[in-house]
Amino acid sequence: MATKAANKRLTREYKTISENPPPYIQAHPSESNILEWHYIITGPENTPYHGGQYWGTLIFPPDYPFAPPAIRMHTPSGRFQPSTRLCLSISDFHPKSFNPAWEVSTILIGLLSFMTSDEMTTGSVGATESERKWAAARTRWWNSTGGGSSARAGSFQKGNIKAGDGGAKFRAEWPELDKENWAWMKENGIDAATGASALQESKNCIPTAGLRRPSGSQPVVGAVVEGGRAAGDVGQGWIRRNKLLVAGAVIFTYVLIARILGEGASTNA
């Protein structure tokens, strides 16, 4: 339960962010709990996330603003592991570095900035630009269907934020956006169960939710990446994918060196 100070502060911040929302960001507290905030980040231009609809939550501690919130992004993005707490300087992973002067808008602007960077941390995901574009094209479908679960009989689970809730939680917090998403899916012939487009794409059109995941790529949700291991994991992944090429290069180099040394020995003799 929020303290009086936290309740007053968050009420004021909701008024501020509603009247003057930062670019690409919407946010509001849940009607049942002012400590639970829901945000939408719209993917900025000139990024792999362009046009994507990224939904997440900020869970504030009762003593906010003297401690930071837990930050999660539920929509698969190819950038963050869905519904996983993110380790950022503005999140509850680093309470000592949190500045009480920072507000909800500050936190979400920081999250957007981190999202569009290449920096890795706990909760980050390694993915290609093509995979992230593929995920962006499916975000509205995923948010409103729970990843297709709304089309499966008996799969409805009220209150479950992850895939399996049939989009119920998203619909409860973003009813207008949910209506827009379903209208968009109908207009584009999107299959609610799979996210695939039933319409024939013309040669000059860019597919939307019907995009297939890039051939040979890994699932866009990827794997959680610990910040200190990010660079090593990326390098090891490249080596695993190209092990034959690496082995060939090693053998070629060995033969070349042996030949040069052999020729040198013959000349000296």
pLDDT at 237: 42
- Which one, of 91, 89, 124, lies nearest residue 230 by Cα? 124
The DSSP string of 1-58 is: ---HHHHHHHHHHHHHHHHSPPTTEEEEEETTEEEEEEEEEEPPTTSTTTT-EEEEEE
Given a cut of 90, is residue 55 above it in pLDDT?
yes
Determine the Cα–Cα distance for residues 244 and 254; give it in Å rounded to an integer: 15
Catalytic residue among 25, 59, 67, 87: 87
Given a cut of 80, is residue 260 above it in pLDDT?
no
Determine the Cα–Cα distance for residues 46 and 66; give it in Å rounded to an integer: 36
pLDDT at 230: 31
pLDDT at 202: 43
Determine the Cα–Cα distance for residues 84 and 73; give it in Å rounded to an integer: 7
Are 132 and 48 within 8 A, CB to CB?
Answer: yes
Residue 222 or residue 95, greater confidence:
95
Residue 181 is inside which H or E element, if any?
helix 175-187
The band of 197, judged by pLDDT with boundaries at 50, 70 and 90, is confident
Determine the Cα–Cα distance for residues 140 and 122; give it in Å rounded to an integer: 25
pLDDT, tens digit, 9 for 90 and up, residues 20-35:
999 999 999 999 999 9
Give pTM, 2 decimals: 0.75
For the chain, the average pLDDT equals 80
pLDDT at 198: 72
Are 182 and 144 within 8 A, CB to CB?
Answer: yes
Mean pLDDT of the 236-256 span: 53
- Which one, of 222, 253, 193, lies nearest residue 76 by Cα? 222
42-46, 47-51, 56-60, 150-154: least confidently modelled range: 150-154
Given a cut of 70, is residue 173 above it in pLDDT?
yes
Determine the Cα–Cα distance for residues 10 and 167; give it in Å rounded to an integer: 26
pLDDT, tens digit, 9 for 90 and up, residues 71-92:
999 999 999 999 999 999 999 9
46-60, 97-111, 172-186, 219-233: least confidently modelled range: 219-233
pLDDT at 148: 86
Residue 87 annotated in active site: yes
pLDDT at 245: 56
pLDDT at 209: 46
Determine the Cα–Cα distance for residues 123 and 220; give it in Å rounded to an integer: 13
